[in-house]
Structure 1
């Protein structure tokens, strides 16, 4: 069968192996036919050699952590043949730590977790894959065209879950949300904010292309000015760019008792002139909270599946700006200037 693989740590070693071995039974009881995998910046960084870890004893890593497939067989009876399914990316560490022991593997404390297509587990960019029932998430059949968005949606479902948990520290009635960045994570964060009937603002540098209209069709407001020039103080900020200046400005912009969730990952190596003392004073005196969020556990995946099922399917489909057949896999991993989400298709 076909599999899209790399040699971790070796730049530009991407290839499609035509005779990759069938998934062994120890990977999981549920056998799945791959329909598609979504591509994100993590995949591109692995291809560049920045990181990535093959399974023990193997030289190459199968890519793909944003999965969509159909069940071929499930002897456990958890799912039925033909069911639409996604595989949870992260698995708990073998020790396990206190969080992994209670299935909060997204909050792993010792870093020994594994991740499909990223760290120590083969990914989903292959014709067939297997998954354990515990890590299999069924999807509404109506999501056949957009279910590949489940993994990024799980990331923002977790972010909103934690925002709301923090908000319960006091009487809290948020009204205004600022999302910085209109990539897939930012747009999905805005979607979940509109589902909470909040006033949503999305900020991005793009002045043309699909992003402004996607934001407006949510009923949200689109901005291209710097964060510090906005004329309102949001109750919630979901930062999705990782750009240092935007991160700092977002932390400063939140209103009193505001909550800032950082989901963008900075590359590091860049310093900026910044008044850290003034930020400290504002955070303390206004009871603000800044926290980071990444990955998701099963509860968040299920929340994400519910959110996608409630969303406008045409709008979700518009997030997928390119669908590339696996035979042209190299094109899928070459980002275009107006790409939002690119999907590599294995079957239709």
Structure 2
């Protein structure tokens, strides 16, 4: 095997995405060889393909994309803890070479000097190739019962981290949260709602649509679907808010009637130059007088991957399966990167070749 197929781009160049032949992953990438089963497609991938950002590995023109992965171990050295046939997911971020204090402690998701790399995003090839090599510390085992649903692990780590930090902040004082508001019923929002329901919280999920798959997915969780026009009432009842759209104007304007403090976690990323009108005095009063917290969260470390794996293993597999609205074979790869109105999560499938 001298070459393999991979989805690649020239970072910063629009319309450069292609299914190309790439060299076999080098031995120095790690002692575990993984055959890719599936790649989840998210907004980050589409932005990289659109030329908005992304960085190829040093000295290379093209970047293999794909950071939401699912694979099967083909070869593994005896001391790696993995064996042929294991279902696995690769961690996205790598610590910086210095490392900073956070990276040195294994909290590479909190890197403070921005010298980290990310597979499929920044300075390191991603997982959208037929094979990749990896070091075992960057590989997470997936419950075999999940099958292709294991591709949801990486997006689930985003909300596992959000919940981890929310609960750590909450423990600064006596805390008894009841209601949670999730804004956005895309894959991140729905997974955030799943983890809220698993914690026993009264959960509201807000989105723009009035019917279809998203409201039904929310109701099947036992949560309450809220149309955007009813945000004020839902926000007034929420002790915790997880924002998954990047549009925070309504949240910042919303007034809570409750004296208890609230925690707002932002996971969505707003476009640069997005215009909004924010009353800094109102924001200040809501934050200070209610002991509230507004914080951002992105990426995840190994602990969050393990927390997410447990959450998926405990979830209804039929509900998880309905998060995946399309599975596109590799030979039809352009269709995977074309968004459709009813999409929640699109998955690009690779041939399942036994190790």
TM-score computed with the length of structure 2 as normaliser: 0.95
Does 2:81 align with 1:64?
A: no
Which residue pairs with 2:305 in the alignment? 301
Which residue pairs with 1:101 in the alignment? 104
**Aligned-partner Cα distance in 2 for 1:181–1:78:** 38
Contact 2:323 2:344 in 1 (8 A): yes
Gaps of 5+ in 1: none
Which residue pairs with 1:220 in the alignment? 223
**Aligned-partner Cα distance in 2 for 1:246–1:68:** 36
Moved segments of 4+, more than 3 Å? 229-232, 252-255
Q: Map Cα deviations across residues 215-249 of structure 1 (whole Å, 9 max, x no partner).
A: 00000000113322437420100000101424424
Aligned length: 346
Does 2:273 align with 1:269?
A: yes
**Aligned-partner Cα distance in 2 for 1:259–1:177:** 10
Structure-to-structure mapping, 1:210-249, within 5 angstroms: 210-226=213-229, 227-230=231-234, 232-249=236-253
Gaps of 5+ in 2: none
**Aligned-partner Cα distance in 2 for 1:273–1:21:** 50
Which residue pairs with 2:51 in the alignment? 49
Contact 1:234 1:254 in 2 (8 A): no
**Aligned-partner Cα distance in 2 for 1:209–1:331:** 22
**Aligned-partner Cα distance in 2 for 1:186–1:79:** 32
SS in 1 for 2:164: helix
Structure-to-structure mapping, 1:165-184, within 5 angstroms: 165-184=168-187
**Aligned-partner Cα distance in 1 for 2:142–2:248:** 36
**Aligned-partner Cα distance in 2 for 1:281–1:299:** 35
Query: Cα distance 1:323–1:208, how it changes in 2: closer, same or farther (>3 A)?
Result: same
**Aligned-partner Cα distance in 1 for 2:257–2:152:** 29
Following superposition, the deviation at residue 278 of structure 1 comes to: 1.3
SS in 2 for 1:2: strand
Q: 2:87 aligns with which of 84, 91, 101?
A: 84
SS in 2 for 1:145: helix
- RMSD after superposition: 1.3
SS in 2 for 1:342: strand
